Each structure stands twice: as structure tokens, then as C-alpha cells.
A and B are shown apart, each in its own frame.
Chain A
Amino acid sequence: MRKVVVLFVALISFAAFTSPDAKEILDKVDRNMSSKNRIFESSMIIHGRRATRTINSISYSVGNKKSFTEYLSPAREQGTKMLKLEDKLWIYSPSTDRIIQISGHMLRQSVMGSDLSYEDMLDDRKLTEVYTSTLAGKEKLGDRDVFVLDLVAKVDDVAYFAQKIWVDAERFVPLKQELFAKSGQLLKRTEFSDVKQVQGRWFPMTIVYKDMLKEGSGTEFRITSIKFDQEIPEYLFSKASLKK
């Protein structure tokens, strides 16, 4: 009986102190970062070589497949709308009053001069579908304990062959992500901060994207307000809504 108790206590202790496996961590991250739908207002601050631009927008998204974004300011971009349905992307420009489909190699162009490409915005596959993950260790990032995950592509059609992700060990949100080329060259770094609890889930409100091959401070993405699981009218996700 005493042996059974010792074994039971040992198992409980092992479960309490051992780290979850990489897939489990990514699943928890997905649960935090994904939602049925969301509405958020954000500011995209693009730090260029000469000047810094801030673009404010409101976005509506359902899962990872549908999203609608309207740019609110500055005046030059105001009224520009972007609609994403599955792997297709349309942009409406009020100055020309035309809807343009962004396809093929145009998807590789930068969004409004930022460090993000249209393709980056379209890639909506879950990390667990695209990468084989391994837990590389546990370390401190700032004052937070983090799990470090190494991800290597398991499919051919992926933009970044490998990734390294630092996941908050307590809140299960990514705090840092590095994207690598096949040769191992670091290409992009994304840093997540200002993690807040919104409707019971932890969410980073500031994300900084940095193209590591270019000089500059990168592109900052600040979420000013976010609501999950709202009522979003279906008509918003149609081409007709772009011209409204």
C-alpha cells in the first residue's frame, strides 16, 4: 500500500513538474490566438528609412478564412478596403473606385510599405499542420518563463522552412517568433508584447514585425480594441461590401 502511495505521489509530481510536449503547447497557443470570430481596431506603424507612417484600421474576421479590413486613416488611405476569402484577396481603392484582386506573385508584395506581405496575411494554416515541432527547452525571456519550440516544415509549399517560437509558459501566448530560410539564415523576427486578458483569453496587443535583412525598426501592429465571438453580418464578406 505504501509503495502504491509513493508511486501515485511520484506520478502526480512528474505530471506537475514535467513540461508539456510541443504539440500540446502549440494547441494551447492556438486556443488563445484563434477564435470563432473577432473585431479589432488597430494601428499599423511603419518605420521607414526616412519617415514613420501610422495606418489605422478596423478588421472583422471569421476563423482564419474570412476577413474584412477598412482603413480609417490617414486621409490618403481612408476608405481603402481589403477582403480575404479563403486564399483570395481583393482590395478596393476609393481614389480609383476599382476592386483589384491580388493574386499570384503580387501576393509577395509588401502591404502598404510594411514588413508584411499580402501572402503573410493570407497564410492561415495552423502551425501544427505545416510544421513538425520539438520542444528545445525552457528559458527566461525578460521576466517571463518561456518554452522554446523549434519548428521544421513538413510540407513543401511553405514560405519559411523553419521557425523558432518562444511561448509564455504560463499564459501560452507567443512572445517571440523567428522565421528562417532553408539555409538557416534568419529572415524575420516577430515580437509580441502587452499581453492582456480579453474575454478569458490571453492576447498580445502589440506585435512588432521586423525583416532582419533590411535596416529599420520594422512594422509595429498595435491593437487598440479587440472583441471575440461577436455577431458579424455575413454580407460584409462579399465583394459588394467593398464599394459600400
Chain B
Amino acid sequence: MMLALKLAFKNLLGAGLRTWLNVSVLSFAFVLIIFFNGMIDGWNRQGRKDTIAWETGKGQFWHPEYDRYDPYTIQASNGLMSDEILKETESKRLVPILVVQATAFPQGRSLAVILKGIDPMLTVLELPVSVLSSDNGIDYAVIGKRMAEAAKLKVGDKLLIRWRDKNGTFDAREIQIAEVFKCDVPGADNGQIYLSLQTLQEMMELKNHATYLVAGEEFEDRELENWVFRDLDFLLEDFNKIISAKKAGGSIMQIFMLLIALIAIFDTQVLSIFRRQKEIGTYIALGMTRMQVVGIFTVEGGAHSILATILGAMYGIPLFLFLNKVGISFGVGQGMDITLAETIYPYYSIRLIISTILLVVVSATIVSYLPSRKISKMKPTDALKGKLQ
């Protein structure tokens, strides 16, 4: 094996530019695979972290009738919180949220909105709703940047909202925007207006009612009667699907890049075996078995990947460290309906790096072995003479 490795590297380095061209292409594919997957993993980690912090908590308890995809369920999907739940909400381990459909009328336009009643003193989510606790006769509201842009609202603006109470009777009142927050989670922002839970309960005549309860880290996992627990897998299902789709889409490009590099190695191997028949005959004449010679050529082809890994590491590591520090700014996150930070910091896991190295080495070795199989069918005497076979 050592002999095969020594010979492989000696021959590769001897081949000069041809070897370095192959190694460069393969190293580019190697770096690209790690970069792309690092970006997706970074987006995934940030997205999950932000969604948990701003929207889902570590899980939620839903009213059985509540369906986040069906706005027609909203009116009927709220329930009275039991004493047990109220105790948990007082100790800030659960955050009750009451959801109500309404219409807002910014500048004479009508806009369908979701009113969310939330405890201003909440600690489970990062929503900056403490301003809602102010008690000076004004109904304050907090909205996200996306909502503010859609409705053309800013802090201090007054907004007329119309809703129906629990009996279906119209009511309307003016609220004042007290805070506009910026977050990367559209689910906590788009079309939503946050009011104090107590205010919304009074508006709806639904004292101590909630649509769902957000569980904080300190909440002890258990079932709550008449409420359905939704875990993070359920709550992040859409986000996970987007990530999977992006990974699948990206893998096509990665396979294409890898394929170009592997075809180059395959070509080099075919050419080597054709041009080095005398060398092959000499190895066999010196007592090597055909399979040992196949091994030498396979190792030689596979060694491209080792050189590619070294070369890739030489320019890839500084590049990745730099990107990890400054991140990559997309600047489009606010306008999209998916959780995407304005700046994504790629995340390169050990698992990603090792799996990519293995992928490159194994695939390069396989494409090196395929043309080398021809050696086992060669006649050593003809090979020594350099006869075409």
C-alpha cells in the first residue's frame, strides 16, 4: 500500500499541469459543496432559533378547533383557561395568546389583519410588547416592520380597527402604534397587530380566554386538558420543508460540479493506462499481480482527491472563516414570506466536512478504478512491448 501511495504521488506530481488542473476542479467542487451546505445549515440554525424566540417558544398548546391555515376557524377557536393554566401564565412559564380576525383601515384602505392579545409582561418570547402595559386610556398596539410597511404605519400613528365580538356584533375603535419591531420571522409579523391580552379579551367579551398557549423553557412538559400540544417538529414543518427543498435543489448543482471533476479524473486515468502500457508490463514482469497494478493506478487516481482536499483547505479555510465572521448579506429577508435573516452566517459542522471529504475521496477512487480494470485483461508481454490492446 505504501509503495502504491509513493508511486501514486510521484507519478501525479510528475504529470505536472494536468494533475493540478484536475485537482483544482475537484477542489473547487469540494469547497462549493461545503460552502453551499454550510449556508443552508447556517440559515436553518438561525431560522429555527429566531422562530423559537419570536413565535413558537419550545412548543404550543392549541385550542382543538384552531387551524393556523384556516382563518375561518379563528372565531370559534378559543377556550377558557383553567386555574392550572392561569397559574402557569402568572409565573410566565406559559404565554396565552388570543387570536381575533379584524379589519384595519389605514388611510381609508381596508386591510384584513389578525389581532393578537398577548401578556405585555411576557418573558418567553422576544416580542417587545412591554409598552402595551401602559395604562393611560389609549389602546396601544405593537406591529412588525413588514406590517408597518404594508399598512404604511409608523410609531405614534393612529389606526381604526373593526372586529366582531363573540356574538358577531361589529365593534370598532382607534388604536395607537406604540412600537414597530424588526424580526426575521414573518409568522410573527405579517398582517398582525399585537394588543394587550386584557384589552383584547375585553373587546371580545372573552375574559380569560386564549387561542393558544406558548410554552417557555421553564415549562414542565405535560399534557393540558382540552388543549392540544404542538411540538417544534409540527410548528416548524413548513420551514423544515423549505430547507429540505433548498438542499435538494442545491445538490443538483453540487453533483454537476463534482461530475465535471470526476470526468476529468476518468479521462486522465484512461489516458494514463493507454500511454503507460510498458510501465504496466514492467510492474507485472517484476512480479506484481494484475490486481496490485490495478491498485496502484486506482490509488493514483484517488490521490487526486487527497490533493484536492489539501488545496481546497488552503483557500477554503481562510474563506470560510472570513464568511463566518462577516456573514453574507441578502438584504431581502424582510420582503419574503420565509424566515430568512438579512445576514446569514454559514455553519460548517465537522459532520459536513468529513462527509464531504468522504464523498470526494470515494467518488474519485471509484472513477479511478473503473478504467483501471482494463489492466487485469492485458497481456504482460504485449504490454511490455507497448502494443496497443
Contact = CB atoms under 8 A, between A and B. Distances in A.
Contacts of A183: 171-173
Contacts of A159: 164, 168-170
Contacts of A153: 169
Interface in A97-152: 104-106, 108
Contacts of A234: none
Contacts of B165: 182
Contacts of B108: 213-216
Nearest to A49: B109
A40 to B, nearest CB: 28
Contacts of B167: 156-158
A108 B103 CA distance: 12
B330 interface: no
A181 interface: yes
B311 interface: no
Nearest to A214: B110
Contacts of A158: 167-169
A73 interface: no
Among A106, A153, A182: residue with most chain B CB under 10 A: A182
B169 A105 contact: no
B105 interface: yes
B154 interface: no
Interface in B40-94: 71-72, 75
A161 interface: yes
A160 interface: yes
Chain A: interface size category: 20 to 34
Interface string A199-231: 000000000000101111000000000000000
A238 interface: no
Contacts of B207: none
Interface string A157-195: 111110000000000000000010111010100000000
Interface string B146-180: 00000000000000101011011111110000000
A182 B72 contact: no
A213 B172 contact: yes
A152 to B, nearest CB: 12
Contact of A182 (B101, B103, B105, B170): B170
Given A105-B72, A105-B75, A181-B162, A215 B170 contact: no
Contacts of A216: 108
A182 B171 contact: yes
B139 to A, nearest CB: 11
A49 B108 CA distance: 10
B231 to A, nearest CB: 29
Nearest to A186: B172
Contacts of A108: 164
Contacts of B75: 105
A182 B169 CA distance: 8
Contacts of A104: 72
Contacts of B110: 211, 213-214
Q: Which of B71, B110, B162, B170 has the most CB of A within 10 A?
A: B170
A214 B106 CA distance: 9
Interface in B90-131: 101, 103, 105, 107-110
Contacts of B164: 108, 159
Nearest to A108: B164
Contacts of A181: 162, 169-172
Nearest to A153: B169
Residue of B71, B160, B165, B169 most packed against chain A (CB within 10 A) = B169
Contacts of A179: 170
Contacts of A185: 160, 162, 171-173
A230 B250 CA distance: 70
Nearest to B163: A181
Nearest to A103: B72
A181 B163 CA distance: 9
B171 to A, nearest CB: 4
Nearest to A180: B170
Interface string A67-107: 00000000000000000000000000000000000001110
A161 B109 contact: no
Interface of A: 49, 104-106, 108, 153, 156-161, 179, 181-183, 185, 187, 211, 213-216
Given A105-B72, A159-B168, 14 more contacts: A104-B72, A105-B71, A105-B75, A157-B167, A181-B162, A181-B171, A182-B165, A182-B169, A187-B170, A187-B172, A213-B110, A214-B108, A214-B109, A215-B109
16 contacts: A105-B75, A157-B168, A157-B169, A158-B168, A158-B169, A159-B169, A182-B165, A183-B172, A213-B103, A213-B160, A213-B162, A214-B105, A214-B109, A215-B107, A215-B108, A215-B109
Interface of B: 71-72, 75, 101, 103, 105, 107-110, 160, 162, 164-165, 167-173
Which 7 A-B pairs rank lowest in CB-CB distance, beginning with the nearest?
Answer: A215-B108, A185-B172, A181-B172, A182-B171, A156-B167, A105-B72, A213-B105
